[in-house]
Amino acid sequence: GENVEQHPSTLSVQEGDSAVIKCTYSDSASNYFPWYKQELGKRPQLIIDIRSNVGEKKDQRIAVTLNKTAKHFSLHITETQPEDSAVYFCAASIEYGGSQGNLIFGKGTKLSVKP
The residue ranges that bind other proteins (CB under 8 A) are 34, 36, 42-46, 49, 89, 91, 100-108
Counting Cα atoms < 13 Å in the Cβ hemisphere of 111 gives 30
Q: Reduced to 3 states, what is the DSSP secondary structure of residue 57?
A: strand
User: How many residues are listed for the chain in this entry?
Assistant: 115
Residue 16, Cβ density class (10 Å: 0-12 exposed, 13-18 middle, ≥19 buried): exposed
Nearer to other proteins, 80 or 108 (CB): 108
Closest distance to other proteins from the beta carbon of 79 (Å): 25
Nearer to other proteins, 74 or 78 (CB): 74
Nearer to other proteins, 61 or 107 (CB): 107
Closest distance to other proteins from the beta carbon of 34 (Å): 6
Closest distance to other proteins from the beta carbon of 17 (Å): 26
Q: Which amino acid does the sequence have at 4?
A: V
Nearer to other proteins, 36 or 73 (CB): 36
Beta-bridge partners for 89? 36
Q: Where do the H-state alpha helices sit in the chain?
A: none
